[in-house]
Amino acid sequence: MATLRFVLGDQLSRELSSLKDLEEGDVVLMCEVADETRYVRHHKRKIAFLFAAMRHFAEDLRDRGVTVDYVTLDDGDNTGSFSGELKRAVARHSPDAVVVTEPGEWRVLQMMEDWREELDVPVEIRPDDRFVCSHERFEAWAEGLKELRMEFFYREMRKETGYLMEGDGPVEGKWNFDHSNREPLKQGITPPERPTYSVDEITQEVLDLVAGRFGNHFGKLDDFDYPVSRRQALHYLNWFVDEALPKFGTYQDAMREGAPLLFHSHLSGLINCGLIDPREACDRAEAAWRAGDAPINAVEGFIRQIIGWREFVRGVYWREMPGYERSNKLLAQRKLPDFFWTGETELNCLHQCIREVEASAYNHHIQRLMVLGNFCLLCGFDPREVQEWYLTVYHDAYEWVEMPNVVGMILYADGGLFASKPYAASANYIDKMSDYCGNCRYSPKVKTGEGACPFNLLYWDFVARNEDRLKGNPRMNRTYATLERMDAGKVETIRKEAAEFLDGLVASGDY
């Protein structure tokens, strides 16, 4: 009895649920399809990374004696869609059954459910057990809660996984060491140099394909040196744990011009596509702490991001879809300006972050949250446009993780489902955590008039603009009390200058 096992580009794990009971005679189907490359116009580097990883994974399976039917993008008969390629493969192999692992996006789950109707063979959709928390477990936890708070979910995950536990309680007596993780980068602290991975023949073919077919997509392909095979990914994980993890916690929120990675892991792309299992990343981090090689603030912080935030946002996505993508509680409608695609702006913090993502398809969390995200929130950009941008530009972006981070975390578009207040901040935060302001035409200290940092104007404009919607939030009491105490003329000036700034943003729709 032969089974066709359809593996998607973000399911590149030998332990995948759909591959668990693989038998002789079974065929693994993998395909590069145009629809997936253009449902948003992904960064060139994301497509290259994923295709290179897919092709290496197929080779890896073949080396282990598995029959892989791999359809390349330039195959003349390629229909361009998952559904079309699965139908062709069913015709080619006449399997008794099709087995898939559930996807990371709601739209693809709809396709999979249609396959059950459209194909003449049974289609089994298995849970994705690479995640620690099943959908049922998340539902059980969230049931009856009006607000979902990551911290409480995280503690449950700690207890269930046993990470950093001592009996029933957390090691070193605390669940969370975040207060030690907010240092700006001190002078003289140099981030470690990353290992690079040379481009082999398989990856070179992919780079040529992407340069030829996706030349008009955002981003650059130059100096591609990211891990693309399981062996390289494991090597990279070990490097991170040894060399960067020890300082990961302390400098987690810091930003420095020209140092995009600092002590961050750069593992999200590898974890999300399946080359690294989230549990093995946490196992190694915990082992480093137990061996005395990494401090608790680093290891707890890292494990919290993975079994806390990562699992939590996935739970939120599947609980809230469909419909979550249309959330817009702050009624934000402004178009995303062109400079999000070109980086051509005088706001140096934005300029640096956009130039970095253009080159590498990566920004670290605080850049995504407190620079780019904060700006999108303050300006009131349309949440659909912001979602599209975030899904397009990052190599680790899939809807299940991008959407809650954008809708819930940065834009407060869901009205506070999991953020107790909007992450809005003036220039002070960016100035404290980075060296961007020193090289900027604006000054973080100037509040209005010549040289005033737009974040300062936009912050109070945002607060005033959303008074009806946010004033009832107890965590905004101090902010609104300050606004009330502010001189009416000053508020008027701020709002006038903010309006001039916003009117000056060019959104041609050409990108």
Binding of residue 327 to ligand FAD (CB under 6 A): no
Stretch that binds ligand DLZ, among 100-108, 119-127, 175-183, 501-509 (CB under 6 A): 100-108
Q: Tell me how far apart the alpha carbons of residues 162 and 157 are, in angstroms, rounded to a whole number.
A: 8
Q: Are 351 and 454 in contact (CB under 8 A)?
A: no
- Decide the pairing of beta strands 97-101 and 123-126: parallel
Stretch that binds ligand SF4, among 83-91, 221-229, 347-355, 397-405 (CB under 6 A): 347-355
- Decide the pairing of beta strands 165-166 and 169-170: antiparallel
Binding of residue 387 to ligand FAD (CB under 6 A): no
Q: Are 37 and 214 in contact (CB under 8 A)?
A: yes
Q: Are 235 and 275 in contact (CB under 8 A)?
A: no
Query: Of 95, 191, 337, 373, which lies in the binding site for ligand FAD, with binding defined by CB under 6 A?
Result: 373
Map residue 289 onto helix, strand or coil: helix
Residue 410 C-beta: closest distance to ligand SF4, Å: 16
Binding of residue 240 to ligand SF4 (CB under 6 A): no
State which residue, 153 or 455, has the beta carbon closest to ligand SF4. Answer: 455
DSSP 413: T
Binding of residue 455 to ligand SF4 (CB under 6 A): yes
State which residue, 95 or 416, has the beta carbon closest to ligand FAD. Answer: 416
Stretch that binds ligand FAD, among 6-14, 225-233, 391-399, 497-505 (CB under 6 A): 391-399
Query: Of 26, 102, 105, 358, which lies in the binding site for ligand DLZ, with binding defined by CB under 6 A?
Result: 105
> Which residue's C-beta sits nearest to ligand DLZ?
9
Residue 448 C-beta: closest distance to ligand FAD, Å: 29
338-344 own/partner pairs: CB under 8 Å, 24+ apart? 338/506, 338/507, 338/508, 338/510, 338/511, 339/505, 339/506, 340/389, 340/511, 341/218, 341/511, 342/511
Binding of residue 418 to ligand FAD (CB under 6 A): no
By rule CB under 6 A, what count of residues binds ligand SF4?
15
DSSP 312: H
DSSP 21: T
Three-state secondary structure string covering 53-102? HHHHHHHHHHHCCCEEEEECCCCCCCCCCHHHHHHHHHHHHCCCEEEEEC
Residue 383, CA distances (Å) to 118, 148, 351, 402 in order: 34, 21, 21, 12
Q: Give the up-direction half-sphere exposure of residue 59: CA atoms within 13 A in the CB hemisphere.
A: 14
Map residue 405 onto helix, strand or coil: helix
State which residue, 417 or 440, has the beta carbon closest to ligand SF4. Answer: 440
Which of the listed partners (ligand SF4, ligand FAD, ligand DLZ, none) does 268 bind, with a CB threshold of 5 to 8 Å by partner kind?
Answer: ligand FAD
User: How many CB atoms are closer than 10 A to CB 378?
Assistant: 24
Which of the listed partners (ligand DLZ, ligand SF4, ligand FAD, none) does 349 bind, with a CB threshold of 5 to 8 Å by partner kind?
Answer: ligand SF4
Q: Tell me how far apart the alpha carbons of residues 340 and 373 are, in angstroms, rounded to a whole number.
A: 12
x/- binding map, residues 406-445, to ligand SF4, per CB under 6 A?
A: ---------------------x--xx----xx--x-xxx-
DSSP 381: B
Binding of residue 36 to ligand DLZ (CB under 6 A): yes
Binding of residue 330 to ligand DLZ (CB under 6 A): no
Binding of residue 9 to ligand DLZ (CB under 6 A): yes
Binding of residue 349 to ligand SF4 (CB under 6 A): yes
Query: Of 267, 273, 407, 433, which lies in the binding site for ligand FAD, with binding defined by CB under 6 A?
Result: 267
Which of the listed partners (ligand FAD, ligand DLZ, ligand SF4, none) does 9 bind, with a CB threshold of 5 to 8 Å by partner kind?
Answer: ligand DLZ
Map residue 126 onto helix, strand or coil: strand
Binding of residue 384 to ligand FAD (CB under 6 A): no
Stretch that binds ligand SF4, among 244-252, 255-263, 342-350, 396-404 (CB under 6 A): 342-350
Helix-, strand-, coil-residue percentages of the chain, each rounded to 5 = 50, 5, 40
Query: Of 264, 284, 351, 465, which lies in the binding site for ligand FAD, with binding defined by CB under 6 A?
Result: 264
Residues that bind ligand FAD (CB under 6 A): 264-268, 271-272, 302, 305-306, 309-310, 313, 364-365, 368-369, 373, 390, 394, 396-397, 401-402, 405-406, 409-410
List of residues contacting ligand DLZ (CB under 6 A)? 8-10, 31-33, 36-37, 42, 47, 50, 103-105, 108, 398
